[in-house]
Amino acid sequence: MNYIPLIAENEILYICSVIPQKHVSDYFRHNPKEFAKICPGFRPTAISRLNVGDLLFRNRNNGFVSSFIEKNISIWLRQIQEHLDQCMEDGSSKDTAYIQTLSQSFFVDNIALYFELIEEEHPEAYISLLSSAVKHAKKVSDEQEKLNADAQSKDADIERLQSELKSVKDSLENSKAKQSEYIAEINSLKQELTNIDELTALIHRKEEAIADLKAEVHILKKSEKELKVELVEARDNQQQLEIQIRAELEKQRTEKIKRQAAALKPLRPIDMDEFKEYLGYNLKDIGASTPSDCLLLLKQHLCDTLFQGMPIIINRGTGVPLMKCVANTLVGNANVASLTYNKDISAQEIGAFLSENTRVVCLDGFLGNYSETELLALLELHRNKIIFLTLAYDRTLRFIPYEIFGYCHYLNLNRIQTLSVGGDLTEDPSVFEETEVDIPEANPDTRYSPLLKEILNEFGLAQSLTMHKCAHISNEQNLCSTLAFAILPYCADVLQISPFTVSERLVKYAGDRGRCSYKKLFKEWFV
C-alpha cells in the first residue's frame, strides 16, 4: 500500500524525522549508486554530517527514497498491530492496548497520523484524550527506565565492594602465611645460632616484624569488618530501593485507575423519585412553577439531562438561579463554584478548577471565546460533575459549530420569566447519596422519534444533529420536554425563526387541533 499520497507534507516530514539515522545509513550503504544520485559528493558513511530527516523529505518523490519511507511505515504499522493484538489477547481493553503500544511507537508525538494511515476515524476529542494518555504512559516508562538504571548502578557497587572484600581476605591470608614463615625462621635460628647477641638481635627484629604484621592483620580485620557492614548496607539499600520502586509504580497505577474511573463515570442519586420531589420544592421556591403546567415537565427534563455526564449550555440569566437550585437540592449548598473566561487562561488552570472536590460547577463565557475542541477534551475527563456552560446571549450559539450539541445539552428557560428575577433561595438544603451509572444505549420510540425528525427537517437543522436528537426520544413526555426547553427556544432565540410558522408538522401536533398535552404552553411561549 502506498501511504505517502494519503498524508500531508508536514506529516511526511514528521515520519522522515523519526526514522532512526542508523536505518537510513544502512540503507544508503547497501545502495551506494542510488545514494550518489540524490547526494552527490557525499559517501554513505559520512551521512552523520547531514540532516537525515530533511534529506529524506526533500527526495520523497524519488522512487529510491519513497520505497524506503513506505517500507518503514509498513513495518511500524505491522509491529503496532501485532502488539495491539497481543495486548488484547492478554486481557487489555482496546483503549489500554492503544496507550501501551503507541507510547512505545514512532507515532508517540502524532497519534492522529497513525489513525490517518490505518484509515480509522475517531472524534477529535478522543484522539486528543488518547494523545495525552500516550504521552503520560511514555513519561512513566522513561521514569521506570531511569529507576532500573539506578538499580543496576547499585548492583555494580555491590560487585565492586565484594571484589575489594576478596582482595582484603587474600591480603589477610598472605600476612598470616608470612607470620607463620617468620615464626618458623625464629625457631630455626634459636636452634642454629650460638651467638646469643646475634640471636637476640635477630629475634628482636623478627619480633618487631611480627608485631608489624599483627598490626597489619588487625587493620585488615577492621577493614574487613567495615566492608562487610558496608556490603550489608548496600544490599539493604538495594532491597529498599526495589521495594520503593514497586510500591511507587503500584501506587501510581492504582491512583491513575481510580482517578480515571471516578472522573469518567457519571453520577446520579440512588433515589431519583425523592430527588425529583425535593427538586420540585426548590424550583417552586425560585419561581419556576409558573405557568402551572410547566413544573412537571421541567422536573422530568432536568432529571433526564443533569446526570448523563454531559455539560449543559444555558443563558447566564436563568442559569445562575437554576444552578443554585440544583446544588441546594443535591449537595446541601447553594454556592456553585464558577470559573470566568479571560484571554490568558490556560488548559492547566481549567483542569485544576475541574479537579477540585465540587459536584456542581460553572464555566462562564468560554463558548465563543475558548477553543471548543480543547474545552470538550478537558470536560470529557470530568463526567462525574454537573457542568454548566453559561453565556450572555443565546445568539452566540449561531457562531459555534452545531457539532457541539453532540457533546452538550442545550437548556433554555428564558420563557420562565420569574426564574430570571434573581430572588433569594430559601428552601432548606438537602443531600442525596449518589452512585456511578452507565449511560444506557439510545432506544428511540418508534412513534415520537420520527415525529421529531419531521419537525427538525422542516426547521432545516443539520442531518447529523437531527439524528442525534431523535435517537434520545423515548416517549411523548421526553419529546415535549425536548421541544419546550431545547428545540423550540433554540429556533426562536438562536436561529430567530418562528417555529409554528415554519413547521406544518409542529402545528399538526401542538396546534389548536393537535393532541399534544402541552399545546397551550407551547402556544403561550412560541406563537
Q: Which of 136, 150, 324 is nearest to 237 (CA)?
A: 150
Residue 325 CA to its chain's centroid (Å): 32
The values of phi and psi at residue 268, to 5°, are: -150, 155
For residue 80, CA distances in Å to 24, 86, 104, 294, 412 come to 21, 10, 9, 56, 47
pLDDT score of 484:
96
Q: How far apart are CA 260 and CA 413, in angstroms?
A: 33
369 and 346 part of one domain? yes
Is 137 inside any structural domain?
no
CB under 8 A, 24+ apart: contacts of 344-347:
345/370, 347/374, 347/378
Confirm whether pTM is higher than 0.85.
no
Residue 124 has which C-alpha cell?
477529535
Residues 219-257 have pLDDT tens digits of 888 888 888 888 888 888 888 888 887 788 777 665 655
Contact 361, 390 (CB under 8 A): no
pLDDT score of 467:
92
pLDDT score of 39:
79
What range defines the domain where residue 227 resides? 142-264
Q: How far apart are CA 320 and CA 336, in angstroms?
A: 9
154 and 240 part of one domain? yes
363 and 426 part of one domain? yes
For residue 110, CA distances in Å to 18, 115, 132, 194, 306 come to 11, 9, 11, 96, 35
pLDDT score of 138:
82
108 and 162 part of one domain? no
87 and 204 part of one domain? no
Percent of the chain with pLDDT over 70: 94
Q: How far apart are CA 83 and CA 441, in angstroms?
A: 31
pLDDT score of 315:
96
Q: How many domains does the chain have?
A: 4
Domain boundary among the residues 88, 121, 154 is at 121
Beta bridge partners of 360: 386
Beta bridge partners of 362: 338, 388
Is 335 inside any structural domain?
yes
Q: How far apart are CA 200 and CA 202, in angstroms?
A: 5
Residue 352 CA to its chain's centroid (Å): 14
pLDDT score of 423:
67
303 and 407 part of one domain? yes
445 and 518 part of one domain? yes
Positions in the chain short of pLDDT 70: 1, 44-50, 193, 195, 252-263, 290, 420-423, 440
Contact 368, 119 (CB under 8 A): no
